[in-house]
Amino acid sequence: MNNTEKTKHELVNQDTVFAGTAVEIVRQMRDQAYFERGVDLAVYLGHLTDLILQIAGVEITLEGETLDERAESFVKGLIAAGYFKEA
């Protein structure tokens, strides 16, 4: 997937807004998670999906081979689960 094919999102939940490509959004989320700062994004995605399953019982499946594809499926999963909506 090249840069021209990457979908831009703006996710909103109450007073939280994340904007950019799916990878940019995952990076923003990671950077706000104090103990996850600096963790590889692919590893962070795994941690986050595990945490969501443990705490909320919601399974978000990461699909695709590349980080871009996996992050995109994560963002779509967050929207489908109702955690965020597109602005």
Task: Encode pLDDT of 38-87 as tens digits.
Answer: 899 999 999 999 999 999 999 999 999 999 999 999 999 999 998 888 87
With a CB cutoff of 8 Å and minimum separation 6, the contacts of 42 are 67, 70
Across 18-24, average pLDDT: 92
Confidence of residue 1 (pLDDT cuts 50, 70, 90): very low
| Cα within 13 Å of Cα(56), Cβ side | 12
22-32 and 67-80 helices, crossing angle to 10°: 80
Given a cut of 60, whether residue 4 has pLDDT beyond it is no
Tell me, yes or no, if the pTM score tops 0.75: yes
Closest CA to 7 of 31, 77, 19, 80: 19
CB 33 within 8 A of CB 18: no
**Cα angle for residues 5, 7, 8 (degrees, 5° grid):** 135
C-alpha 87/C-alpha 68 separation (Å) is: 21
